[in-house]
Each structure stands twice: as C-alpha cells, then as structure tokens.
Structure 1
Amino acid sequence: MAFKVGDKVTHRSFGEGEIDFGPFEHYTGPDHYLMRDGDGKHVLVDGGSMKPIAKFEVGDKVRGTFTGRVYIIAGGPFFSPEEWYATETEAGDTISNTASMLEAIKSEPAKNEALKVGDVIRIPCDGLECADVKTGDLLVVAEVVGSDITVHAAPGAGQDEWYFCLRNVERIDPSTVAVVDNVAYDLTAGYRDNDGDVWRFARLPNGDVRGNWHGSTINGFDSLLSDVVADCGPLVRI
C-alpha cells in the first residue's frame, strides 16, 4: 500500500518509525521512502516492508475533533483510501470516521462530583458547543451544576464565561497546570511575553510556580508566575 509523509509505520527490520519523505523511485525499484526510526535516524525502506500503525483499537473511546461527539471504536482499522474506523455513537448508531477526524479521550471525570470549581479542563475542538474556544484551550471551572459546567473564558474571548456539557470536555492533571486570576497556564509549554521573550515555568517542591526566559534550570530564585503575568503579560502559549 502507499504511504504519505507523517504516517506512523512499523518496519519488519527497523521497528516503529514515521515517514519523512516519499514515495520516490530508487535504483532498486519504485515505492521507496525515508523513514525516521525510533532513534531519530533516517533509513531507506520500501513500501512492501512496512505496515501502518493503527491510531486506535476496537473498544477505544474517542471524540470527533470538530463535532466533540463521543464514539466507541467498533471496527477497524481500515486503510482504503486512508485510515478509517467504524465508530458507534452513544445512541448506538454506527458510522464511519477517518482517523484524522478522531482523537483519543485521554481522561474524563467518572462522575460529576469528580470535577470541581477551580479545576482545569481542556477544550477538545474548535468552537465546541458554539463557544469562542479553540482546540487545546485550558479553562478554569467556575461552577458545576448537574451534568453542565461553567468555565471562565480565555482572555480576549467574546464573553466572560462559557457553558459546556461535562462529557464534552477533558479534565487536566492539576500537576501540569497553574492558575492565576482564573487563567490556566500549561506548565509543559512555553509562553511568550509582551517583549517577545519565551518563558518556561515549573512547580517547585514548596508549591511555588516559578520560571525564567533564559533556559536555565528553574529554582527558587526565579520569578513567580503571578509576578510574570502582572509585569510582562499577557502571556501567549506557543
């Protein structure tokens, strides 16, 4: 079968890798590719020596990247003309979805009480429930009522709060984020300040969240996140 740049594959000799270039014709024959292996090295491979790595398995719980709809993988993977799956809706209907239109649900509160005011949720798709939000936005929970939540909107959004169904959002591990003035900051990402400097932050053993822009190890002498927000904000995640 044909592959394209970005495809995750497994090679019979080199193991798992990713297609970085191809297909192209080599003097040994057509259908050749440059594959980046697990060590980051490029190897020359032919299409017949590889098979695609499936993005999901039957039984996985996934979400539509644009619709926010939740599915269970019911069949697949199928690879014609591109990777796709038979997916079952919560109502029991089965429809097809391509892999590019689906994302894994990494975490989700098991019950409403698991999500509380002050927790941080991730938005799984642009315009979720018609709100002014983007994929990957981190928002702070302001209220939980039954199966619905209210969140503080991101700075610059069309209104101060947005409302979502609990099942359509993803809860974030609190150890990976910090909240300042109802704005969530991703401690795994970099942030550009109003001077163009890029900051990184970390939570220290004493609970302080500090960071710097010069790339050295973060310690107790570095700036508090709250001070950076006040003095150098707004901070933009990159």
Structure 2
Amino acid sequence: MNLPKLCIITIGNVTSAVVLEIINALQFQVEVIEIPFTFADDDEGWKDWKSSEPRVFGGIGAGAAGCLLGHRDAWEKLSQSSFEMAIILESDAHLTNYGKRRLGSLISNIQSFHWNMIHLGTHENMVNVVSARNFISLSPRIVVKQFWERIYLQAKSPKFAEMQFPYSTHAYLIRKEAAAFLSRQETNFMAPIDVTLNSYSQVKANRIFRCRTPLVIQRTDQPSQTKRLGR
C-alpha cells in the first residue's frame, strides 16, 4: 500500500502524549512540525489592523487573531514542504477511542476521493451528546442523527458529511494544494478562523468535509489561549 506523504503540524502547547497517540493510531511514522502559539501583538499585520481607526466593524480579539495567524503559519509550512497533506492539531485536541481504531485506515484510504479539507471531530464528547438536556431541547431528528453517527457508525470505517466544517479548528486534515491557496489569501481579522472555514465549507465546490463519527474531539476542561486573550 502506498501511504500518503503526511506530517503532523501542532499549534500551541500540544502535549507529546497526544502526538504519540495520534502517531500510534496512524501506525506509521510521521514528521511532527511544531508551531508555538502566536501572540497577535507581535504581528505587524495585526498592529496595522488595530491602528486603523476608526473602523466600522471591530473584528476579532487578540486570542482569535493569534489562532488565525498560527493556522496561516501551518498552511505556509505545509505548502513549502515535501508533504502531500497534514493533520493540524491545536493544544485542546483529544483522540477518541474511535480515532484510535480508525484514524490509520482513514489516512490509508483518503486518496480514493477528491477533498481539500476534512474536519476530524467536534467540540462535543459523547457525554454531552447523550445528556438529558439534549433529549429535551433537541429535535428527534438531531438526536437520531447523533446516535447514528456516534454509535451505529462506530463499527464502520470513517464516513464523511459534505459541506460541513464545525466551529472549531482543533483537528483537521488539509491537502498541500489547499494549504498553499489559503496561505496566499489576504489575512482577514474580521472573523475567527473556524467561522471563516465554516463559511467556505458551505460551497460544495470547495470540497470540505466533516468526519461523521469524531476521530478527535476538542477538550473543554481547560481554558484556551484564544478565549483567555479574547475571541
């Protein structure tokens, strides 16, 4: 089997334990590229944006700006590398049991269809999904959908939902060509990066998908740098 040329790019303080779990799930060695969290106040583009008063729209906070700049840095590094694709991880990424079993098969078979980005999970864990609050507040259709994706599909190879990118950038797969294109776009401090990518996913021709059963979820037990510094 010809494995794709894949790397892992971490943004912020992603622990070695998380990275090792991801590598073990892949079942082959990959290079890890580390990017420290970007403090927006050190970026000239952000300084110019903040000094361009008065502005009709206030735009994002320093935390969201740092997150955006970190992802742009990751895209640029991938576009300048010899790798075909990368898994982008933030510090709050957490591999699920399903991810431990299925991440390797996803990567091995990923070249069988045309895609640009694949979101690997959501910001919700299974405990939140099956809570009493969800049964009361969500429609039966949503509840059935969650059980279909998170219980029935657990026994299946990863399936994808088209035109979806959840509001989180903790873990996603991106092709080199897509990263190169995104890194060439002008930096826009009007919206957080997850909101921007979600809007891109609404266009079918952009070929952005979500893995229906989460391989990697976002931890919510630790405050993120983005929220601490301002979204």
TM value normalised by structure 1: 0.22
Q: Relative contact order, CA 8 A, sep 6+: which one is greater?
A: 2
Where is the strand percentage greater, Structure 1 or Structure 2?
A: 1
Where is the helix percentage greater, Structure 1 or Structure 2?
A: 2
TM value normalised by structure 2: 0.23
Larger radius of gyration: 1
